[in-house]
Amino acid sequence: MSGSSNIVAMKKIVQQLRFEANINRVKVSQAAAELQQFCIQNALQDPLLTGVSSSTNPFRTQKVCSFL
């Protein structure tokens, strides 16, 4: 009967909301600071951020080989 299935569905929704409501949360100031810290610490290892020099770029323009 649709009445009881609505109740079953609502009970699941309530149970899920209870679960989500009970998690521990961290302050935005702390979470944001940690994201910033991660970016800063890894900046030098980020080729798209620092730019790729042609000597280390596996995608540098394909040159024709020549025999010397």
Partner 1 sequence: MSELEQLRQEAEQLRNQIRDARKACNDSSLSQITAGLDSVGRIQMRTRRTLRGHLAKIYAMQWATDSRLLVSASQDGKLIIWDSYSTNKIHAIPLRSSWVMTCAYAPSGSYAACGGLDNICSIYSLKTREGNVRVTRELSGHTGYLSCCRFLDDSQIVTSSGDTTCALWDIETGQQTTTFTGHTGDVMSLSLSPDSRTFVSGACDASSKLWDIRDGMCRQSFTGHVSDINAVIFFPNGNAFTTGSDDATCRLFDLRADQELMMYSHDNINCGITSVAFSKSGRLLLAGYDDFNCNVWDTLKGERAGVLAGHDNRVSCLGISSDGMALATGSWDSFLRIWN
Binding site for partner 1 (CB under 8 A): 3, 6-7, 10-11, 13-14, 16-21, 23, 25-36, 38-43, 45-49, 52, 57-61
Smaller CB distance to partner 1: residue 19 or 67? Answer: 19
Q: How far is the CB of 66 from partner 1 (least distance, A)?
A: 19
Q: In the structure encoding, which two tokens stand for residue 19, read together?
A: 């679960």
Provide the CB-side half-sphere exposure for 49 (13 A, CA): 8
Q: Tell the residue number behind the tokens 């540098």, with chain if given.
A: 60
Distance of alpha carbon 58 from alpha carbon 68, whole angstroms: 23
CB of 55 to partner 1, least distance (A): 13
